[in-house]
Amino acid sequence: MIDFEKDQQDTMKKTDNIQSLADQVEKLESLQTRLELQEENIKNTKKQLEHLSGEVIPTMMSEMGLSHLKLMDGSSVDVKPHYSATITALKALVRERLEAGKEMPTEIFNVFVGNKTTIKRSK
C-alpha cells in the first residue's frame, strides 16, 4: 500500500534540506564578497600608507633638511632608505651592494629602492 502522507513528509524534508543548503551557499557567497571588499580596503590602505611613508613624509623632511624628528610626546620619526626585491635573500644582497656603491641589475630582479618612514612611540 502507498503511504501518501509519508511520501509527502519525505518530500518536505528534502525540500527543507535543499533550502537549508541554498541558505548556506548564499551565506558563503556573502562572506566571500565581504572578504573581497575587506581585502580591497586593506590593499588601498596599504597604498596610502606606502605613499605617506615612502614619498610624502620623506620629501617634506628632506625639504626641511631633516632625517630624524623627535616629537613632544617622546616619539621619533626617522626616514631611512628602504630596499625591496621579490626574494628575501636577494633583498639583503641588493641592500649590501647598493650601500657599498656597487652595481646591481635592478631591472632583472625587480628591485625597488625608496625611503621609508618609521615612527618609534615613546613608552
- What are 101's three cell numbers? 656603491
Average pLDDT over residues 98-123: 74
For the sheet containing 112-120, what is the strand order? 68-70, 76-84, 112-120
pLDDT digits (tens, 9 = 90+) for 6-60: 777 777 777 778 888 889 889 999 999 999 999 999 999 999 998 999 899 999 9
Strand segments (E) across the chain: 68-70, 76-84, 112-120
pLDDT value at position 104? 74
- Phi–psi pair at 88, nearest 5 degrees: -60, -45
Q: Are 54 and 115 in contact (CB under 8 A)?
A: yes
pLDDT of 106 higher than 90:
no
pTM strictly above 0.75:
no
Tally the domains of the chain. 1
The range of the structural domain enclosing residue 23 comes to: 4-120
pLDDT value at position 42? 97
CA dihedral 60, 65, 68, 73 (to 10 degrees): -70
